[in-house]
Structure 1
Amino acid sequence: MKRSLQRHLSLMLGGTILLTCLVAAIASFALAYSEAKEFQDDMLQQIAELNSDDGFAQKTPQSSRKITLKDPESRITIIHLPGEPRPDWLAADLRSGFHTLYAGAEQQRVFIRDMPAERRTVVTQPTDARDEIAANSALHTLIPLLLLLPLLTILIMRIVRHELAPIAQLSRSLDEQSADRPQALADDGLPEEISPFVQAINRLLERVNHLIGQQRRFIADAAHELRSPLTALSVQAQNLRHAESIAVVHERLLPLQEGIERARQLTEQLLNLARTQAETSGRTEVNISLLARELIAAYLPVAEARKLDLGLEEMVPLTVCGSPEALRLIVKNALENALKYTSEGGEVTLRLRADEHDSIIEIVDDGPGIPIDEQARVFDSFYRMPDARGEGSGLGLTIAREAATRQGGTVSLHAGPEGSGLIFRYRQTHGTPDARI
C-alpha cells in the first residue's frame, strides 16, 4: 500500500494535537484538583472562624453564638470544645491548624482554632467527600477540551485536504495533456513549496517537447533521404530488367550495386544514430590509446587507396570513462569524414592529448576545411554543404555530437594549422563522464 501524504499529515497533526490536549487535560485536572483542595481547606478555616465565640460576639445574640453545621453533601461537622463531647479519635493535645486524622476506618480533614479561655472550635470533613467534590470540580474543566477534540480532528482533515488540493489538480492537468504536445503547467496561486516542483516539471516538459520536435524532424528528413536512393534503385532495377544483353546487364549492374551500398550506409548510420540516442549501456574505463590504434589499422587500407598519410600522434596515454561503443562512434565518424574530404596526397592525424582538466581527442586534416559560418550547421541531421563533394548522408557529425553529449563531453570544429584544413575535437573532463563542458 502506497504511503498517503494526506493521511500521514492528518495522523501526525491529529496525534500531536491529541497528545497536547491529553497533557493539557492532565495538567488542568491536576491544577483544578489542587485548587479545589485548597478551596476546601479555606472553607474549613472560614467556617471555624464564623462559628467561634469571638467571631459572633458582635453580630449575634448570646443564645445564637454557638452554631452546629451538618451539611449532608459536604459532610462538614463543627465541634465546640469543651462544650460538646470530644470524639475519641480527636486527641486533646493537638495544636491549632490543619490535620489529617483517622476516625476509625474513615479519614478526616480537621481544622482546629484556639480561642480564649481554652475554648476550641473544631471543623471536620471526611477526605473521601473532599476528594469527590474536588474531582467533580476538576472534571468540569475537561469538558471544553473533550468537546474540542472531534472539532479539531475535522478541521485538521479539511485543512490538509484543502492545502493538498493543488497537487491533485496538477495531476489531473498532467493526465489531460496530449502525449505528443505536452504544455507547461500553470503555477499561479500555487503554494511556495510546490512551485519549484511545478517549475521543474515544466522544464522537463520543455525538454520533452524539444526532443519530440527533433524526432519529428529526424523522421521527416530520414524519409526524404531514403526516398531518393530507393527511387533510384527502383529505376535502376527496371533498367536492368530491360537490358538487351549480358554486357548491358553488367554495365547497369554497377550503378545498382553502388546505389545499394549508399542505401546500406545510410541505413547503418540511421541505426547508429538511433542506437546512440537510446544508449543505456554502463560506463567503464576505455583505453583510448588502444582504440585509436585499432581504428588506424582498420582505415589504413582506405588511406593508402587515396594516397593519404594517416598517422597517430599520442602525446600522453589516454584513458576515458565512458561507453566503448559511443567513443568508437565519435572517433570513427570523424575519421571517416577526414579521409573522405581530404585530397589525395594529404595528411590525416589522430591526436591524443590532455590538459589539466580534460582528455582531448583530435582528428586533424589538411583538407578544404569548413567555413566558420557553416561549422555549427554541419552537425544538423542530413545537412551537407552546397559544395560538398563525394557521397554522404550528412549524419556522421550528428552521430558524433549525439554520442559525445551522452558521454558528458563536447565536440567542436576548428580551423587547422595556419588556417587550412580542419580540426575535429572531442573534449571530456577527467573522471566525470556526466560533466557538461
Structure 2
Amino acid sequence: MKPKRYSLQKRLIIYISLFSVVLGCVLIFAAYRIALEEINEVLDKQMQSLAERIAENHPRPLQSQIDLEKQYSEEDLFVDIWSYANTATPLHPQNVLVAPVKKAGFYKHQTPYGTWLTYIIPSDQLQIQVSQQQNVRQELALELAGNMFLPYMLFLPFAVFGLGWMIRKNFQPLHDFKTELASRKAQELKPIEMKDYPLELEPTIQEMNHLFGRISLAQQEQRQFVADSAHELRTPLTALNLQLQILLQQFPQSDSLHNLSQGVLRMQHLVNQLLSLAKQDASDSLIEPAQMLSLNQMTVACLEQLIQLALQKEIDLGVEQQQELRIQGQASTLHSIIYNLIDNAIKYSPKGGVINVSIFQQGQQAVLQIEDSGAGIDPTQFAQIRQRFYRIHNHAEIGSGLGLSIVDKATERLGGTLEFSQSSSLGGLCVQVKFPVVEA
C-alpha cells in the first residue's frame, strides 16, 4: 500500500490554526476567571461598605421587596434589617433572610431559585443583611470575557491568513532549492552554492554536494577506464590489422582471413566509437569556449575523410544542396555529428547506392540533411536508435550501436535537434540536424 503523502506547509497552517482556536478557548477561560475575581472583589467591597454605613446610622427594621424568581443585574443590592425579637419575620427558604449569626462576614444562602450571597453585620438586637444574586457576577464575568473573545475570533481568520503567508514565504527557499535541482542537466554535478538558503538547509546541501562529488568521481573513473581501454586496444588492433593485410596478400582466396579482417575492422570501429564517446562524456564536465563554425566547411572536411569508404562500395556520395551557413559551438562536437551520420549512411547503404547531403536554412535554423538509399528504419524505432548500444537486428551491417547515440548527445550539446524520417527521393533514411543559425 502506497504511503499517504502530506504537505508540511499545509500541516503547519492547520496545526497553527487549531492551536490558535485552543489558545482562544484558554484565553476566554482565563479572562473569565480573572474578571470573576475582580468583580467579586469590587462588589464585595460595595456590599460591605453599604452594610457598615447602615450600621453606623441607627438602623430600624426594614424588609426588602425581593422577587426570587426574577433575574437581577449586578447593580441590584437588597437590604434587610430584622430584629431577633420580631418573630413575625419568617426565616424559610423562600426569602434571603439568614438565621442569626455571631460574626460579621459573607454568607451564602441557597434558595430554590438559586444561590444568594449576603453580607451580615449582627448586633445585640438587629441583624443587617445586604444580599445579591451570585449568578449575576458569573454572567457579568462571562460577558466581559466574551467581549474580549469576540475581537479575537474576528481577527483570527486574518491572523491565520497572515501566518499562512509567512509560512509560505519562509518555505520559499525550499521551492527555490527544488527549482535549482530541476533546472540542472543530468551531467551538471557542480556543488550547490548556499546563496540565501537558511541554515536549516545547509546540512542537506552539504550532503548533496558530497554526493555530487562522489558521483562525479565515479563517472570520471568510468570515463577514464573506457578511454584507457579503448586507447590501449588501438595499437594491438592496428598491428593485427596490418598482419592480416599481409596474410591476405599471400592468401587472397582464404575466406577465413577475409572474415577475420572484417572482424578486426569492426573492432577498430568500435574502439574509435568508444574513444569518441569517452571524449564527449569528458567534455561535458569541461567548459569549452564556443566559436563561430562554418557548417559547409565542416561537412566538406568530413566528406573528404569518408569519400574513400564510399568509393569502395561504389556509392554516389555528393552534396545536393549547399547554402553558406554558420553556427555557434565546438568544432570537435560538430565534426562528430557530421562524421558519424555520413559514416552510418555509407555503412547501411547498399553497393552502388546514393547518399545526398544538403545544407539549407529553414526559418532561424541551419539544417544539415543526409539521405541514403538504404533499407531505412521503421518509424517505431526512431526513439530507440538514440540509445547507446541499440542495434537494429534486420540490418546486415554489424556496428557498435553508438553512432547515433553520440550524434544525439552532441546535437543536444550544441542546442540543436535531431530528427529522423523516410527519404522521399531515395527511399532510405533521412536524418535532419537543426542548429540555431548565426547571421554572418
**TM value normalised by structure 1:** 0.46
**TM value normalised by structure 2:** 0.46
